[in-house]
Amino acid sequence: MNHSGTQTTPLWTQLSGLRPRLRSHITWHRQTHRGHDWILLEDRATHRHYHLTKPAWQLLQRLDGERSVAQALACAWLTDELTAARQQEAVELLLRLQTADLLVYPDKDPSNRLYEQWRKQRARSHLAQFMRPLALRLPLFDPTPLLQRLAPLARPLFHWSSLLIWIALVLLAGVLGLQHGSALSAHAEGRFIDPGNLALLWLAYPLVKGLHELGHALAIHRWGGQVHELGLMLLVFVPVPYVEASAATAFPGKYQRILVGGAGIMVELLVSALALLLWLAVEPGWVRDLAFDLCVIGGVSALLFNGNPLLRFDGYYVFSDLLEIPNLASRAQRYYAYLGQRYLLGLHSVPSPVVARGERGWFLCYGAAAFFYRIFISLLITLYVAGKFFVVGMLLALWVVLSQLLLPLLRLLRFLFSSPELAERRSRAVLLAVVFGSSTAALLLLLPLPSNTLAEGVIRLPESAILRAGESGEVVEMLRQDGERVERGEAVIRLQQPALTARARILSARAGELRARMEQVQMRDRVETAILREQLTAVEVELTELEQRLDALTLTSPATGELDLVRPDDLPGRYLEKGSVLGLVHGEGAAIASVVIPQTDAGLVRRQTHSISARFPGRPESKSPVTLVADVPSGSYLLPSPTLGSKAGGRIRVDSRDERGITALEPIFQYDIRLPQQVLRAIPGARIQVRFEHPPETLASRWYRSLRQLLLSRLGA
């Protein structure tokens, strides 16, 4: 073999002479993914599994404790030149295997620098096991005898007819859940967080999780696998059962592995479906509450957590097997590291984790999505725990910052300043890090960016701008047409009511008759005169009221402005009830919009707003400046209109128990703005988009304010 011209790395220099071999308790299995052979190493002592590519396995087969690493590499890959890329691949492979404690070194020297590096990596991996306060495991016993007794009973569950029944039940429950969505929401609002229901929740959650794990164990046992560990896991301090299901990883068929991974999800969905049917069948009481708890726990856990491939739960392993990409999460992280080292630092010897076609795109998408979702769910759990136990929540928050941000940053700095791979390019790497860090700091701390608050408002007009029917009657004459300018008090529409006119004539005649009789008797009979005077007074009062009602049949403009009639072509001959709205009169400054702001944004809007603009219905492409006319200083839970609530598609979340849809879940503040003159024909009750412009501010300032508001609202801190 010709080794001339090969650039050796410092780690390769230390590693090439060692003679490692696999530990005796390691077995292997062959699997095929995307047309490529993979080797699965099984550590029978720890029940852990490790995927290797075929070239890596060829190298490992030749490491028998007698050959050196350099000799094994030359024999395995049969290359004329041991390039730096090949060397780096071998170095990374052996480092990973040593970290997993799969290798032994007959000639190992404890003082060797490489061994010290391996020892530190292994210590860090053990430390990581204790840095999982959200999921602590406590092994209990071997469930094999239990599974053997349950196997005959569980065998029919793995028949295709059982799958059809499962699909039918889940679909039926889904349809019923949609049909009874409002009732389910009302039950959740009224009973789910009730103190009496919390005890049922603590019982229901371990029960659902126990059935979930039993589903895994029975599926593994069905396909010939072994389950030797059952225990309790403290998941956010709630004890839930777990089983060691890693044996499924060694199954040769991917659909067997998918079935084992999905068994727990299917069990949870089945429990949720059956619980929903029970909830619909029973009367209110603790049984109905328990059924609702089982339904929610099974559904939420299956759909949002266990079935979510972005978390390292069942859905992740099912997703990996469906894609046929082993070690999807870790290889996605390695691919991002590969991109940075190769294209930013110029380390062309770094091997790519991509093995088959199509993997590159999945690595890019999955790596980014899983990283941000992991941070999101960690913060969500931290806030939940902090709301119940403040000190524990703060410790969890510290752990999230330490494990998700600080430790990766420290590992990056250690790599930049001490990694042997950067021996010849360290100055470039440090310069890039300084430039990137400085640019990021400047972007966060120094660069002011536009700042605004978006809100929604509802258009309302004063009563003086609304044209109403003052009396019931039939439209007989349109005195002014739609769109014309009218003056305040100008006649617009004339109505008629024959019965009212006839009654007025009768009363007028009756009043004349009474006056004539009074003139005849007032000189000779004072008593009769008094009686007639009282009758005349009553008739005149009624006649006056009728005349006012007759006058109201002529509708006059309530204000000066443009007349906007409702369906003007249908008005002639139409009978109108008293109080009916016939249209509006749009005058200058007549239209007002009530804008609601959540409490979290109210302070910023009140203190740092320099301009306000709005977008109106039918004109979303243009915005107009508006004027603030009123600011209600105190918060409220009542919206000025249901249009602004989430039930009607608005931004503000409202209480589902409020049929009116105007009770907000969090305090809101109301601002009244005057619409501009050019915005004519404003529709009362229509929703508008309002933007409050603030002085530019940096991202750091904005994030600090958001974090402070979050702590104030969630923790009261």
Q: How confident is the model at residue 1 (pLDDT cuts 50, 70, 90)?
A: very low
Assess contact for 349 and 9: CB atoms under 8 A. Answer: yes
**How many separate domains does the chain show?**
4
Backbone angles phi, psi at 297, to 5 degrees: -60, -50
Q: Is residue 488 part of a domain?
A: yes
Indicate if 180 and 83 belong to the same structural domain.
no
Closest CA to 367 of 340, 344, 345: 340
Domain assignment of residue 75, yes or no? yes
At residue 245, the 3 state secondary structure works out as coil
Give the span between the Cα atoms of 276 and 291, in whole angstroms.
Answer: 7
CA distance 42 to 48: 6
Tell me the CA distances in angstroms from 583 to 366, 494, 640, one per residue in order: 57, 14, 22
Q: Tell whether 146 and 268 lie within a shared domain.
A: yes
pLDDT of 707 strictly over 60: yes
Q: How confident is the model over 411-469, as pLDDT tens digits?
A: 888 888 877 777 777 788 888 888 888 998 898 888 898 989 999 888 877 777 788 88
Residue 4: pLDDT over 60: no
226-277, pLDDT tens digit by residue? Answer: 888 888 777 656 676 778 877 888 888 888 889 998 999 999 999 999 999 9
Q: Which residues pair with 136 in a beta bridge?
A: 234
Is there a contact between 350 and 341 (Cβ–Cβ < 8 Å)? yes
The pLDDT tens digits of the residues spanning 454-477 come to 998 888 777 777 888 888 888 888
The sign of the CA dihedral 697, 699, 705, 710 is positive
Task: Please check whether residues 109 and 166 belong to one and the same domain.
Answer: no
Given a cut of 80, whether residue 694 has pLDDT beyond it is yes
Is 103 within the bounds of a domain?
yes
Whole-number Å distance between alpha carbons of 296 and 184: 10
Question: What is d(CA 195, CA 357) in angstroms, rounded to the nearest whole number?
Answer: 54
Same domain? For 473 and 520 the reply is yes
Nearest to residue 593, comparing CAs of 452, 468, 456? 456
pTM: 0.66
Q: Is residue 460 part of a domain?
A: no
b/e per residue 696-708 (b: at least 16 CB within 10 A): ebbeeeeeeeeee
Cross-strand bridge partners of residue 554: 494
- Residue 254 has which token pair? 């991917």
Instruction: Please report, for residues 414, 462, 536, 550, 586, the alpha-carbon distance to residue 466 in angstroms, rounded to integers and kept in the order given.
Output: 73, 7, 38, 20, 9
Tokens 């199509």 -> residue: 358
Per-residue pLDDT reduced to its tens digit, 184-229: 887 887 777 777 788 888 888 888 888 988 898 999 888 888 888 8
Structure-token match 């301090």, residue found: 237
Amino acid type, 298: G
Residues 115 and 139 in one domain: no
Q: Is residue 368 part of a domain?
A: no
Classify residue 34: in a domain, yes or no.
Answer: yes
Write down the pLDDT at residue 168: 95
User: Phi and psi for 597 in degrees, rounded to 5?
Assistant: -125, 130
User: Which has the closest alpha carbon to 387: 711, 688, 50?
Assistant: 711
How many Å apart are CA 416 and CA 167, to the nearest integer?
A: 53
Residues 16 and 65 in one domain: yes
Q: Residue with structure tokens 């890039």?
A: 432
Residues of the chain above pLDDT 70, percent: 88
Beta bridge partners of 592: 460, 674
More reliable by pLDDT, 616 or 162: 162
The CATH number of the domain holding residue 683 is: 2.40.30
**CA gap 22, 65 in Å, rounded:** 8
Name the nearest CA neighbour of 671 among 605, 578, 589, 622.
605
The angle subtended at Cα 533 by Cα 529 and Cα 535, nearest 5°, is 120
Last residue of a domain, one of 547, 565, 583: 583
Same domain for 533 and 612, yes or no, is no
State the pLDDT at residue 107.
Answer: 59
Where in the sequence is the domain holding 270, given as residue range(s)?
134-324
Q: Are 458 and 593 in contact (CB under 8 A)?
A: yes
Higher pLDDT, 6 or 481: 481
Domain assignment of residue 139, yes or no: yes
Given a contact cutoff of 8 angstroms between Cβ atoms, the answer to whether 321 and 258 are in contact is: yes
Residues 579 and 605 placed together within one structural domain of the fold: no
Q: Are residues 267 and 227 in the same domain?
A: yes
pLDDT of 297-326, one tens digit each? 998 888 878 888 988 888 998 999 999 898
In a domain, 415, yes or no: no
Q: SS3 of 424, please?
A: coil
Same domain flag for 100 and 144? no
Taking only Cα atoms into account, the Rg of the chain, rounded to an integer number of angstroms, comes to 39
129 vs 303 pLDDT, higher one: 303
CA distance 221 to 150: 10
Residue type, 277: L
Q: Are residues 123 and 155 in the same domain?
A: no
Q: Are residues 554 and 691 in the same domain?
A: no
Q: What is the dihedral of CA 125, 131, 133, 138, to 10 degrees?
A: 40
DSSP 645: B
The whole-angstrom separation of Cα 701 and Cα 36 is 51
Contacting residues for 471 by C-beta, under 8 A, at least 6 apart: 495, 497, 500, 549, 550, 552, 553, 578
Boundary-marking domain end, from 302, 324, 346:
324
Domain edge (last residue) among 531, 551, 583? 583
